[in-house]
A and B are shown apart, each in its own frame.
Chain A
Amino acid sequence: ALFYRIIKYTICLTIIRLLWLFGLTLCGPLRTTLLFEHSDVVILACFQVLFSSSMSGQQGHTARIRGVVFFALAVLAIFAFDNDDLRQRVDHPEGHAHHRFFAHIFYRLTSFVGVADHKGGVILLLFALFARCAMNSWSKKLVLDVGGPKKFYALTTCLSTVCLIPMSFIMMLINNLFLDPTDSARSNFQTTLPTTTVTASFFTNLTALIIPVLIISLFIFVLDFYVEQIAIVKLDRIRTYRFGTLAMIFASLVISFIWVQTVSAANSNAWLGRTVEVEEHVLSGGVVFAVVMFAFATDLLSSPIRQRSGAFIGYSQEGVPLFNLTHQRSQSLLLILKSSLRDILAESDSRQIFYFLCINLTFTFVELLYGAWTNSLGLLSDGFHMLFDCTALVVGLYAALMARWKPTRVFSYGYGRVEVLSGFVNGLFLVVVAFFVFYEAIGRLFEPPEINTNRLLIVSVAGFAVNMIGIFSFSHAHAHAHGGGGSCAMSHSAPAKDQNHGHSHDGHDHSHSHSHSHGHSHGEHDHGHSHGSNEKASHHGHSHSMRDNANMKGVFLHVLADTLGSVGVIISSLLIQFFGWNISDPICSLFISIMIFLSVLPLLKDSAMTLLLQTPSHIQYEILDRILKLDQVLSYSDEHFWNLTSSTVVGTIHIQIA
């Protein structure tokens, strides 16, 4: 069984080394060193930051995040901002004979994907790095089972050599060449030194091969391993990795710099009478940037994190300090999804938003997929626009869910106001949309662009249909609410406005209230509670027909604005198609933006008034004066009444009682 595991490990190791070799041939030694020579500690720290939320809030977490960002930036710099000029000039003409069969296959693959050769190498190297990392952590137990890292290392190296020998023979047969011995030699390298000099030169003579191979294997296998082991024993592990990586990165930079300086000499250098074709990788700003970034990232990620094991609670009876080790346990994702789905479907508002969101999202993804398939930019950007619109729906949905949460210590009135706030935010969202549409339209008014109406019409009609579904469902919801109000219209005549329950309390001693400057003889607290939608509909009836829920109104307006946009696109594309009026497009967008803005204003005003604690219009002074007619009530002061949500009124009043 042990042997089996070793074989498995060896195969993985060989594959990773082969990947590394391909990467090396594609990217050149400097970039390979930069990308591949990271210690496992750094990579594991990266993944820990990315995928675990448990350590958030701890000291040093921000440094880790920064390290990950630097790492990503460095990789990005090598991937995108490193124009390898000399390589691009070669650019693989079809007649170019690749040295190896696999390289050619890989080239075909990358050119199919559409990534440059060198970038393909970067991806390959990153993959190899992650695989190596995973394998190293996986093989920790194996190392112990074999009996020490030295034995393990020797065993796997020999085995992988054995694995590679038949492969190199096959390669030789395929290439129909003289046996390229560096293949087998190089594939055995443990990859810890900048191997610049080796890759560039091809030794083609067997007699000249023996000595370099011996030297290389001595340096790469034996010396490197022992140096690392000693360093780990003398220093600690993390510091070894840290300094090792930093030294390697900078050394490779310096060596490649020197190499570039002497490149002309190297190029003209003839080795045993045969000119050597050197594939040169120049030094670019992107690489230097990447070196600096990698250095920072290594420094930040490998610095030990100050771990807090638990919160200090106090001392036990024996005098031993006690720590609280319980972290809040994260639930499984499935459970959260299930429970939130149940919550969503529980009430009609959120259910409607959710269904419409689903329809919208499916439409968006169909559009995006079709756009990517047919390579149509218009479709893609429209898809992104739809996705953007969906966020408003998500905000509305979340607010509708949140509004049902129980009151807490901080949110003592419950979360009902969230709906009002979300309505306000959705209104602001529409204002921003209107502003940007207006801005774009003004820009286009002066130079109307040529618009390809092809396929635009179909998409906009489809979007219009989807939005019409939304409009009908949401307006249906309103009608339903009003129907409920109508059914209990008999209670409408009752002047009981809201479920306002106050109670006053007559005191016994009244001298005190006069002696105090603040003049509070008594506090009375009117507390409101909401009870379902039919009641509020009956009370607010027709005067505030849409006011019953700012959140729903915001969502509705958003859908309405989308519909307007579709209509505008349809009209303008028809005009362009039949009359060729290109200017109709900006004019249409101008109209639409103004209409969106005007339609949003009432919602904004309403929700802002609620947020500003405006006194509801039905609470008048005459009504409050009736309090004075009550028994023993002398006066009232400090009356504060406001709409907590659209259906609930809350207030406090101070009453002086005889």
Chain B
Amino acid sequence: MSTATSVLRSLFYLLKGSHSRSTVIITMGTLVSCLIVFTLAGQTNSMALQAFCSLCIFDLLFIGTALLSAWNIENRNTKVRQKIQSNNNDSSTALFIPTQTVATFSYGTARFEVLAVFTSTMLSILGAFFILKESIEKFLEDEPIHIGYLMPASFITFFMHLIVIYFVPNQSFDHVIAASSSSWLQEHVSDIFQNLCHYIPGLSRLLLPRINPLALLCWCGLAIIFSDSFLLTMGYGHFVDTLSSLLMAFMTFGTMVPMAVYSGKILLQTTPAHMIGQLDKCLHEASRLDGVLEFRHEHFWALSFGTLVGSLHVRCRRDADEQLVLAHVWNKLANVVQILTIHIFKDDWLRRQTHTFMQPQVTHHGHSHSPSNNPSSASAYNGFVVVT
């Protein structure tokens, strides 16, 4: 009951805001077209159409991601906690209603976007995979296909998809599309266009820029459905249909996999590939600073799109001024790494424990048993062995 009211409230909120009203209308349109298209696809019994119509479901996920990132931006701006509950509309956030809003996500909610992008791309990859399997089964079953609904349904999907892609502002997907490596579809199309521009140079302004992979997927899918329906009317059995659905599924794979890999790598707490060069340069500069001996335990990872978190240990010379070193290192890295934690220590023979912590895991293993054997010393600090 409470979930229903919260959904209603968030819907009301979205309708109230001018920025999201068009999004809500588009969402409604997508929902309706989704229903229509899937009933039609069920009627036609054609797997190719079903594969193409799964774009509609991706559109829903896309809108969900858009709402989430809009909420995120607003959240960042206003920092009002109350709005968190009122604004999450889409299904992906309904899972993540924070219980203790302050403490649960210490890094804020920016990572939600990454998870949303990953979820939507992964779902469409898995859906394509499922369609692959279904189309093979359908090929074995050998049922007749009704061509009548093929074109209307695919046109509805096509227009809905283009509207959603171009009229729903979606920062997170924009970032992922720009930052991820290009899909095989994009590469081939750009290769073709390059060859074409050798012959007709005038087209280079139109054809050479990078194409939005989602729009490309839609265009190619429409072309496939066209040829599919043409061949079906010519009377070539459903071998054609199976073939075109397989092609659709592979295209979906190709489009979604780079995005899923990019967002998945962020979720795995890795350094993004395009940041490595810059980061290495900064680290190299910082290691040349006066008083810095070496860096240890460098961990740099992307929190969300465009935010880098880092922590590292700096071993400095014994006579160096720690605060100065800290400030310098901080200065060097702060341009690249937004959230930074630096630990400065000195190689001091008086404090042997500092070294034991740096030991590799093998010796560490024996060391780690000491708190559980001797709970009294560690219990006060909740297991954090504080070595000073």
Contacts and interface: CB of A to CB of B under 8 A. Distances in A.
Interface of A: 62-63, 65-66, 80-81, 83, 285, 377, 380-381, 384-385, 387-388, 391, 409-413, 415, 417-418, 421, 425, 428-429, 431-433, 436, 439, 443, 491, 493-513, 516, 518, 520, 522-527, 529, 531, 601, 604-605, 608-609, 611-615, 619, 621, 623-624, 626-627, 629-631, 638-642, 644, 652-654
A613 B297 contact: no
Contact of B105 (A384, A613, A654): A613
Contacts of B273: 410
B345 to A, nearest CB: 5
A170 B60 CA distance: 72
Given A431-B123, A509-B321, A638 B368 contact: no
B330 A520 contact: yes
Contacts of B375: 493-496
Contact of B357 (A425, A503, A627): A503
A415 B269 CA distance: 9
Interface string B32-47: 0000001000100000
A62 B187 contact: yes
Contacts of B133: 384-385, 387-388
A431 B126 CA distance: 10
Given A429-B126, A509-B323, A601-B95, 17 more contacts: A80-B239, A377-B140, A388-B129, A411-B268, A433-B130, A507-B323, A510-B323, A512-B324, A512-B327, A513-B323, A520-B330, A609-B96, A615-B105, A626-B382, A629-B380, A640-B106, A653-B341
A150 to B, nearest CB: 39
Contact of A495 (B103, B323, B334, B383): B383
24 contacts: A63-B195, A81-B240, A384-B136, A428-B123, A432-B123, A494-B372, A501-B364, A502-B385, A504-B386, A505-B388, A509-B322, A512-B326, A516-B327, A518-B330, A520-B326, A522-B343, A529-B361, A601-B95, A611-B111, A613-B303, A615-B105, A624-B382, A626-B381, A630-B381
Contacts of A513: 323
B268 A417 contact: yes
B388 A410 contact: no
B163 to A, nearest CB: 24
Given A412-B301, A429-B126, A501 B368 contact: yes
Given A495-B378, A503-B354, A654 B361 contact: no
Contact of A507 (B267, B312, B322): B322
A231 to B, nearest CB: 26
B382 A505 contact: no
Given A499-B368, A524-B343, A443 B384 contact: no
A658 to B, nearest CB: 13
B313 A525 contact: yes
A629 B386 CA distance: 12
A529 B364 contact: yes
A428 B140 contact: no
Nearest to B39: A443
Interface string B340-373: 1111110000000110010001001101100111
Contact of B386 (A413, A503, A614, A621): A503
B4 interface: no
Interface in B87-140: 95-96, 103-107, 111-112, 115, 119, 122-123, 126-127, 129-130, 133-134, 136-137, 140
Contacts of B378: 494-496
A629 B130 CA distance: 57
Contact of B106 (A418, A503, A639): A639
Contacts of A433: 130
A503 B388 contact: yes
A345 B142 CA distance: 43
Contacts of B126: 425, 428-429, 432
Contact of A652 (B96, B330, B341, B357): B341
B298 interface: yes
Contacts of B158: none
Contact of B112 (A385, A501, A529, A612): A612
Interface string B174-211: 00000000001001100110010000000000000000
B236 A81 contact: yes
A80 B361 CA distance: 62
B381 A421 contact: no
Contacts of A531: 365, 368
Nearest to A640: B106
B136 to A, nearest CB: 6
A497 B382 contact: yes
A505 B357 CA distance: 13
A621 B103 contact: yes
Contact of B269 (A413, A619, A626, A631): A413
Contact of A505 (B303, B330, B344): B344
A615 B372 CA distance: 23
B264 A498 contact: no
Contact of A66 (B105, B191, B234, B269): B191
A605 B38 CA distance: 29
B386 A502 contact: yes
Nearest to A381: B137
B299 interface: yes
Contact of B268 (A285, A421, A527): A421
Contacts of A652: 311, 341
B300 interface: yes
B231 interface: yes
B1 interface: no
B75 interface: no
A638 B106 CA distance: 8
B111 A613 contact: yes
A612 B122 CA distance: 16
B276 interface: yes
B381 A494 contact: no
Contacts of B191: 62-63, 66
B271 interface: yes
A410 B267 contact: no
Nearest to B379: A495
A623 B112 CA distance: 27
Contact of B42 (A63, A443, A497): A443
Contact of B103 (A431, A505, A615, A638): A615
B341 A508 contact: no
Interface string B226-241: 0000010010100110
Contacts of A62: 184, 187-188, 191
Given A412-B299, A495-B375, A381 B130 contact: no
A508 B342 contact: no
B326 A525 contact: no
Contacts of B115: 608, 611-612
Contact of B95 (A443, A604, A642): A604
B80 interface: no
Nearest to A639: B106
Nearest to B303: A613
A117 to B, nearest CB: 18
Closest 3 CB pairs of A and B: A512-B323, A503-B387, A496-B371
A491 B154 CA distance: 63
A410 B302 CA distance: 11
B307 interface: no
A58 to B, nearest CB: 13
B189 to A, nearest CB: 10
A525 B188 contact: no
B270 interface: yes
A612 B323 contact: no
A498 B323 CA distance: 31
A391 B301 CA distance: 30
Given A439-B38, A652-B341, A654-B341, A495 B382 contact: yes
A508 B321 CA distance: 9
Nearest to A490: B372
Interface string B20-53: 0000000000000000001000100000000000
B128 to A, nearest CB: 10
Contacts of B239: 80
